[in-house]
Amino acid sequence: MNRQITLPHPPQRIVSLVPSQTELLFHLGLGDKVVGVTKFCIHPKDQVKQKRKVGGTKNFHFETIDQLQPDLIIGNKEENYQEGIEQLQEKFPVWMSDIYTLEDAFKMMVGIGEITGVADKAKELVALLQQQFSCLQSASTPIATAYFIWRKPYMGVGSQNFIDHVLSLCGFKNVLGHLPRYPEVTPEQLQEANPSLILLSSEPFPFKEKHIQEFQAICPQALVRVVNGELFSWYGSRLLHSVAYLQKLINDVTG
């Protein structure tokens, strides 16, 4: 966003507007400094229950945030909304991330570590994640894949986003990758794309096993799986659980 923020001292009152970055703050040992989170910040479960809710990721409760008097707010360009962030920037230091790749996620982790005074912990986390992802064995032959995040209307994952990047790391070729970031997709478009694999995310729409038949009817030739959306899209410390999960999925669909 081409903005610079200056903090006179390490932050003691942090508001996080991004679920995956909220979990990261707790992982880095900053839980006691987190004073506000969104209603979608669900990890770590017991700790976030104790924190004030400041609205949604795209609907901030400004009065609540004012009451909390944060000395640092952490947001993300995609997950939050520009008008809300700009309004908060008038009163508080707001640190933003913009994440498309694993490398972006690692830079975000180090950046948050530096600004909060726990740079060493953040670097340790990044080193561990780099080691884990270096061991991920992608599909030997690219698998034509469509990944869905919403129903009625169907919305898939296009290009220029973190999920698309994770798909590529798995050897899953995104058949919707020529479309915008999160396109609406008609059954006819899906048929034409002709995926061998269809992945139905558990979030933001909670796809369940009962929805598999629906997609199987559109693409009878495709393998359809419901997947844990957090492990494809949360770019904080939840990535520690991603490699084992992704490897199991790769082995399952190629076996």
- pLDDT, tens digit, for every residue of 109-132? 999 999 999 999 999 999 999 999
Buried b / exposed e along 98-131 (16+ C-beta atoms within 10 A): ebbbbeebbebbebbbebbebbebbeebbeebee
Rounded to 5°, the CA angle 39-116-244 comes to 65
What are the helix (H) ranges across the chain?
19-27, 45-49, 62-68, 82-89, 102-116, 119-134, 162-170, 187-193, 212-218, 230-233, 242-254
Q: How sure is the predictor about 133, in pLDDT bands with cuts at 50, 70 and 90? A: very high
CATH class of this structure's domain 14-133: alpha beta
Cα dist. 201→75, 145, 170 in Å?
A: 23, 13, 16
Residue with tokens 């992982």: 27
Predicted confidence (pLDDT) at residue 1 exceeds the cutoff of 80: no
Specify the pLDDT at position 255.
84
State the average pLDDT for the chain: 97
Residues of the chain with pLDDT > 90, as a percent, come to: 96
Specify the pLDDT at position 78.
94
**What's the maximum distance between 2 C-alpha atoms anywhere in the chain?**
60
pTM comes to 0.94
How do strand 143-150 and strand 155-156 relate by DSSP bridges? Answer: antiparallel
Q: Give residue-wise pLDDT tens across range 188-243.
A: 999 999 999 999 999 999 999 999 999 999 999 999 999 999 999 999 999 999 99
Predicted confidence (pLDDT) at residue 3 exceeds the cutoff of 90: no
Q: Give residue-wise pLDDT tens across range 5-57.
A: 889 899 999 999 999 999 999 999 999 999 999 999 999 999 999 999 999 99
Burial class for 200, CB neighbours closer than 10 Å (0-12, 13-18, 19+) = buried
Specify the pLDDT at position 157.
98
Query: Which residues of the chain are in CATH 3.40.50.1980 domains?
Result: 14-133, 143-254
Q: Give residue-wise pLDDT tens across range 143-201.
A: 999 999 999 999 999 999 999 999 999 999 999 999 999 999 999 999 999 999 999 99
Q: Tell me how far apart the alpha carbons of residues 101 and 107 are, in angstroms, rounded to a whole number.
A: 10
**What CATH number belongs to 143-254?**
3.40.50.1980
Q: How sure is the predictor about 91, in pLDDT bands with cuts at 50, 70 and 90? A: very high
Q: Is-contact 102 122, C-beta < 8 A?
A: no
